[in-house]
């Protein structure tokens, strides 16, 4: 029944999906945290930059950003991100860059809502002790904010996992790309779709359940 799978690197394609997800998740977490820091910080210019970034990036389709990375950055401006002329490597890195830049806007917003859950008294107490803004943020606010936004961040991560399929638009051979290939070559539409749907359910469902459990564990009880 599943002999149409022969000759296709199904696991390999899903492995690329996983790699795209993990690398962009790390990138967006770092950049998103920095953006959140800027947005709540005392420097007006940085606040303005953070706000502008989030509002602009959130409103552009991810597809536009990813296709731009390929057509604009790579083919027009010859940005190769150290890929050394290897299309596969370049496209993969461009996809990670685009996914991370896009997802960071959502990470930033999730974190900012987490910062708002920390009672004002804590920041006041920390300031009264003479901590600077960076210290207040790093030692008191962010650790608690992160614990309260595990659930929203899990949603961002799940959305990111599904969004990696957009990389198919620039020829990164991940799950959606392979699926399109297989549908064109094989006459097994329903089975092929079922296999890929099942693959994504396997990726996203455990993530949601695991992080849902983690969020209950680590949430600060108030």
Partner 1 sequence: MTTSVLFDAQGPRAKQRNILYTVAFVVVLAAVAWWVYTSLDEKHQLDWVKWEPFFTSPQPWQTYIWPGLQNTLKAAFFALLIALPLGALFGIGRLSDHRWVRMPSGVVVEFFRAIPVLILMITANAAYAEFTDLATEDRLLYAVVTGLVLYNASVLAEIVRAGILSLPYGQTDAAKAIGMRKGQTMGYVLLPQSVTAMLPAIVSQIVVIVKDTALGGAVLTFPELLASVRPMSANYGANTIACFTIIALIYIALNFALTSFASWLERRLRRGKKSTGAVVGAGPDGGIKTIGTPNLVTEDGRAT
Positions in 86-125 near partner 1 (CB under 8 A): 106, 109-110, 113, 115-120, 123-124
Q: If binding is defined by CB under 8 A, does position 165 make contact with partner 1?
A: yes
Cα angle 11-15-19, degrees, rounded to a multiple of 5: 175
146 neighbors 32 (Cβ within 8 angstroms): no
User: 3-state DSSP call for residue 180?
Assistant: helix
151 neighbors 197 (Cβ within 8 angstroms): no
115 neighbors 107 (Cβ within 8 angstroms): no
Q: If binding is defined by CB under 8 A, does position 156 make contact with partner 1?
A: yes
Of 23 and 148, the one with the shorter C-beta distance to partner 1 is 148
Q: How many residues bind partner 1, per CB under 8 A? A: 72
Both structure tokens of 103: 């997802």
Kindly state the smallest distance separating residue 110's Cβ from partner 1, in Å.
Answer: 6
Q: If binding is defined by CB under 8 A, does position 19 make contact with partner 1?
A: no
Per-residue x/- track, 22-41, partner 1 (CB under 8 A): -----------------xxx
Per-residue x/- track, 178-217, partner 1 (CB under 8 A): -xx--x-----x---x--xx--xx--xx--x---------
16 neighbors 92 (Cβ within 8 angstroms): yes
* Interface pick for partner 1 out of 12, 26, 30, 72 (rule CB under 8 A): 72
* Interface pick for partner 1 out of 9, 26, 30, 56 (rule CB under 8 A): 56
Kindly state the smallest distance separating residue 82's Cβ from partner 1, in Å.
Answer: 16
Q: Which long-range contacts (CB under 8 A, 24 or more apart) does 84-92 make?
A: 87/171, 88/173, 91/167, 91/170, 91/171, 91/172, 92/16, 92/19, 92/20, 92/167, 92/172
Kindly state the smallest distance separating residue 11's Cβ from partner 1, in Å.
Answer: 17
* Interface pick for partner 1 out of 45, 84, 85, 221 (rule CB under 8 A): 45
């Amino acid at each position: 029944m599943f002999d149409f799978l022969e000759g296709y690197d199904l696991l390999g394609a899903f492995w690329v999906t996983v790699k795209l997800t993990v690398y962009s998740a790390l990138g967006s977490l770092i950049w998103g945290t920095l953006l959140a820091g800027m947005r709540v910080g005392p420097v007006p210019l940085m606040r303005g930059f953070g706000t502008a970034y989030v509002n602009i990036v959130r409103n552009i389709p991810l597809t536009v950003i990813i296709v731009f990375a390929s057509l604009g950055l790579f083919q027009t401006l010859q940005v190769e991100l150290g890929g050394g002329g290897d299309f596969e490597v370049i496209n993969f890195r461009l996809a990670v860059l685009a996914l991370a830049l896009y997802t960071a806007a959502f990470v930033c917003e999730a974190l900012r809502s987490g910062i708002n859950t920390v009672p004002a008294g804590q920041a006041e107490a920390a300031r009264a002790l003479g901590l600077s803004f960076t210290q207040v943020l790093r030692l008191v606010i962010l650790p608690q904010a992160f614990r309260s936004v595990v659930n929203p961040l899990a949603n961002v991560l799940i959305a990111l996992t599904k969004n990696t399929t957009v990389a198919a638009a620039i020829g990164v051979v991940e799950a959606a790309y392979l699926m399109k290939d297989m549908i064109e070559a094989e006459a097994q539409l329903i089975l092929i779709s079922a296999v890929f749907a099942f693959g994504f359910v396997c990726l996203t469902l455990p993530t949601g359940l695991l992080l849902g459990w983690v969020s209950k564990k680590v949430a600060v009880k108030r």
